[in-house]
């Protein structure tokens, strides 16, 4: 999929893969190469707010510079009068949150393998001064080999771009973001800590019925480990080192890769095959 001008006529449209924010995603085949990709269709009428258009432009710009096996590729985009189309890598095994729902929670081997692959993807992003800020199972897909693919950069920013208002779930956000103070790449360490907990327990750590209750738990770092399912103390140690209120004290991602729980449990190949 080289750089060129695309139109809808270049693709055979297959089954819908799902409905994301602002649009529908289809499995499609590029006619001349037979390449299978995912095509996201965004309606311009729903992108009217200049804020969203700005965000989309920024995202396409950021994505075009990222190449990593654990980050879903954005190959290109095109548009017509009514729609904007994003040409995305197709992730064969679908959505991570569905896998988690199906299994309820993951084994330590699976969780550690996933965590290490996400840490490597984020180390790569941070090296390019991109902080993701929206790491959660809903934004992660699974490729043909079982490898994770961070898929949605809808809220990613370049590191010099700080502070903004938020909407949606608070569950994965660190104290400095829910309190809307300055933040940096260490926000992604926090979100990864939340994900690690969710992989092992099936629910995020600050989950609550009320938004206000989740907010309170996050800012106090009200972290509790239920007795069931049984989780090793090395896993809990790692989670405690990531979910630290003072962002400068969170375990750096390269140290996460050296943590005993990761070293002992993660597949060296970086791929969980079950």
Q: Give the residue numbers marked as catalytic.
A: 134
Strand-pairing partners, residue 42, are 23, 84
Compare residues 118 and 256 and give the one whose CB is closer to ligand AK5: 118
Compare residues 125 and 262 and give the one whose CB is closer to ligand AK5: 125
Compare residues 46 and 264 and give the one whose CB is closer to ligand AK5: 46
What does each C-alpha distance from 254 to 2, 98, 147, 163, 243 come to in angstroms?
33, 29, 19, 25, 16
Nearest approach, Cβ of residue 189 and ligand AK5 (Å): 22
Compare residues 93 and 240 and give the one whose CB is closer to ligand AK5: 93
Nearest approach, Cβ of residue 13 and ligand AK5 (Å): 14
Query: Residues with Cβ < 8 Å from 260, sequence gap 6 or more?
Result: 234
Binding footprint of ligand AK5 on the chain (CB under 6 A): 17-18, 20, 22, 25, 38, 40, 42, 52, 55-56, 59, 63, 72, 74, 86, 88, 90-91, 94-95, 141, 151-154
Nearest approach, Cβ of residue 260 and ligand AK5 (Å): 33
Long-range residue pairs from 240-247, CB within 8 A, at least 24 positions apart, any chain = 241/193, 242/189, 242/190, 242/192, 242/193, 242/196, 243/190, 243/193, 243/194, 243/197, 243/205, 245/175, 245/219, 245/221, 247/174, 247/176, 247/183, 247/184, 247/186, 247/187, 247/189, 247/190
Nearest approach, Cβ of residue 3 and ligand AK5 (Å): 17
The gap from C-alpha 117 to its chain's centroid, in whole angstroms, comes to 12
């Amino acid at each position: 999929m080289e750089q060129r001008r695309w139109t809808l006529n270049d693709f055979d449209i297959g089954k819908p893969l799902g409905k994301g924010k602002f649009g529908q995603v289809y499995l499609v085949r590029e006619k001349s190469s037979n390449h299978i990709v995912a095509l996201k269709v965004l309606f311009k009428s729903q992108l009217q707010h200049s804020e969203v258009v700005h965000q989309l432009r920024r995202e396409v710009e950021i994505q075009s510079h990222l190449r990593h096996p654990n980050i879903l590729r954005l190959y290109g985009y095109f548009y017509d009068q009514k729609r904007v189309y994003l040409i995305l890598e197709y992730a064969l095994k679908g959505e991570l949150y569905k896998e988690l729902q199906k299994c309820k929670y993951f084994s330590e081997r699976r969780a550690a393998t996933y965590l290490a692959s996400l840490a490597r993807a984020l180390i790569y992003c941070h090296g390019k001064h991109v902080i993701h800020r929206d790491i959660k199972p809903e934004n992660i897909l699974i490729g043909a080999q079982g490898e994770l693919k961070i898929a949605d950069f809808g809220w990613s920013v370049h590191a010099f771009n700080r502070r903004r208002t938020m909407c949606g779930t608070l569950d994965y956000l660190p104290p400095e973001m829910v309190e809307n103070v300055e933040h940096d790449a260490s926000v992604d360490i926090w979100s990864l800590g939340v994900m690690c907990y969710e992989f092992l327990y099936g629910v995020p750590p600050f989950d609550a019925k009320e938004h206000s209750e989740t907010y309170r738990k996050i800012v106090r770092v009200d972290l509790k480990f239920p007795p069931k399912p049984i989780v090793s103390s090395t896993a809990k140690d790692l989670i405690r080192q990531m979910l630290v209120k003072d962002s400068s004290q969170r375990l750096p991602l390269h140290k996460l890769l050296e943590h005993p729980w990761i070293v002992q449990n993660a597949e060296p190949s970086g791929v969980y095959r079950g």
